[in-house]
């Protein structure tokens, strides 16, 4: 009887040990899987675009990026995003111009509600349009399309009650912001709030950014956004106002970069039903030349698009979609450029977008 009881206890202990080992191996494998995710971010379009000056009909690689991210250990994450379809020239910050993101993030505090992110990262320009992956955006405001989105810096985020406050410091030596004599020592700072209410049904964005132009001058930006989610329906509204140096190539290539104050606004409506997602978007832009002290252009744009996801629920293919897009943008020139003819631009895009997860 004692021998039988001993064997039974030994067998039970062996089962528990084996079970624990399997659980440990499973947890270890899961952690190892989280250490490295590999994605290929692609979008290819057949594009037709026409205006008074040109006509374009060609295939284009709108996005071709290699994305690596993961959690090294609980509370320490990393991300690398590198574009494969642009110049690999080294920028003044020591990174390739094709490297959009390369950062480390550390969750801090007892409740890990503080996050410190260091490295090349998205600039905290608080607007929903700005937060979209560029491959998911078919029509942009001038502010969103022109702003230099990725810079080396540090960001500290505080998360509480569904809200996030960000304080960021980063390089601002690009020609958009700094004069040439100051480009190697110009910094910028931003403070932004990302709010979430009613379990994500109502979300907000609000941000202020100050950028060094010279030793005695700052450029500033104010941005705000509102998102409303109701079931499959999403509406977003954004507004930007700020100053930077912009090229006037569309008016005259001889003008070079000039200091301008832009205002931009967008309204974006999306409705996801089954495999389909129709999208309607409108944008407005007003540019004021600070040297002329006059408004020089105003543009309106409208987009009608439909996305189709044929492989929802299929491994590797779930994020593949087809899209058909029509954009119309009209621009009127004013002030010293009022003799410039109005520009009407029509664009049709037919393409495929696939965020392929390899691991």
Where exactly are the structural domains of the chain? Answer: 35-357
**Cα dist from 230 to 24, 26, 158, 200, whole Å:** 42, 38, 27, 10
Predicted local distance difference test score (pLDDT) of residue 28:
52
Closest by alpha carbon to 264, among 298, 314, 315, 302? 298
pLDDT at 8: 42
Residue 323, pLDDT score: 97
- The DSSP result for 99-146, as a single string, is EEEEEEEEEESTT--EEEEEEEEE-----HHHHS-GGG-SS--HHHHH
What pLDDT is attached to residue 87? 74
Domain with residues 35-357, CATH architecture: Beta Barrel (2.40)
Helix (H, G, I), strand (E, B) or coil at 197: strand
pLDDT for the residue 67: 95
- Tell me how many degrees the CA angle 279-280-281 measures, rounded to the nearest 5: 120
pLDDT at 1 (0 to 100): 46
User: What are the 10-residue block averages of pLDDT along the chain, 359 residues in total?
Assistant: 42 42 48 81 96 93 94 93 83 78 93 94 93 93 87 95 94 84 88 95 97 90 97 97 87 82 97 96 96 94 97 88 98 92 96 90
The pTM (predicted TM-score) of the whole model is 0.85
- Give the residue from 19, 220, 216, 206 showing the smallest Cα distance to 128: 206
- Rounded to whole angstroms, the Cα distance separating 110 from 93 reads 34
Residue 19: predicted pLDDT? 44
CA distance 103 to 296: 39
**What CA–CA distance (Å, rounded) separates 136 from 321?**
11
Chain-centre distance of CA 54, in angstroms? 29
28: tokens are 């270890």
């Amino acid at each position: 009887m004692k021998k039988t009881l001993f064997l039974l206890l030994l067998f039970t202990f062996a089962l528990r040990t084996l079970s624990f080992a399997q659980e440990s191996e499973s947890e270890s494998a899961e952690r190892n899987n989280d250490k490295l995710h590999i994605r290929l971010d692609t979008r290819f379009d057949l594009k037709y675009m026409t205006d008074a000056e040109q006509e374009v009909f060609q295939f284009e690689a709108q996005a071709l990026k290699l994305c690596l991210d993961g959690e090294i250990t609980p509370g320490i994450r990393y991300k690398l995003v590198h574009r494969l379809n642009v110049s690999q020239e080294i920028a003044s910050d020591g990174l390739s111009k094709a490297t959009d993101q390369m950062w480390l993030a550390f969750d801090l505090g007892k409740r890990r509600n503080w996050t410190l992110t260091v490295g090349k990262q998205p600039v905290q320009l608080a607007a929903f349009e700005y937060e979209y992956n560029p491959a998911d955006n078919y029509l942009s405001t001038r502010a969103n399309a022109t702003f230099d989105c990725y810079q080396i810096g540090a960001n500290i985020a505080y998360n509480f009650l569904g809200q996030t406050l960000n304080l960021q410091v980063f390089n601002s030596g690009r020609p958009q912001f700094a004069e040439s004599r100051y480009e190697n020592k110009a910094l910028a700072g931003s403070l932004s709030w990302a709010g979430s209410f009613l379990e994500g049904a109502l979300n907000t964005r609000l941000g202020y950014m100050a950028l060094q132009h010279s030793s005695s001058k700052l450029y500033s930006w104010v941005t705000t956004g509102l998102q409303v989610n109701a079931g499959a329906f999403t509406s977003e509204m954004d507004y930007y106002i700020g100053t930077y140096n912009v090229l006037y190539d569309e008016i005259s290539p001889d003008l070079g970069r000039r200091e301008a104050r832009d205002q931009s606004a967008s309204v974006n409506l999306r409705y996801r039903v089954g495999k389909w997602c129709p999208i309607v978007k409108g944008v407005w832009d007003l540019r004021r030349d600070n040297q002329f002290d006059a408004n020089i252009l105003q543009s309106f744009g409208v987009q009608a698009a439909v996305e189709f996801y044929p492989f929802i629920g299929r491994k590797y293919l779930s994020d593949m979609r087809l899209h058909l897009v029509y954009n119309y943008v009209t621009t009127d020139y004013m002030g010293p450029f009022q003799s410039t003819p109005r520009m009407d631009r029509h664009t049709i895009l037919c393409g495929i977008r696939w965020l392929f997860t390899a691991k």
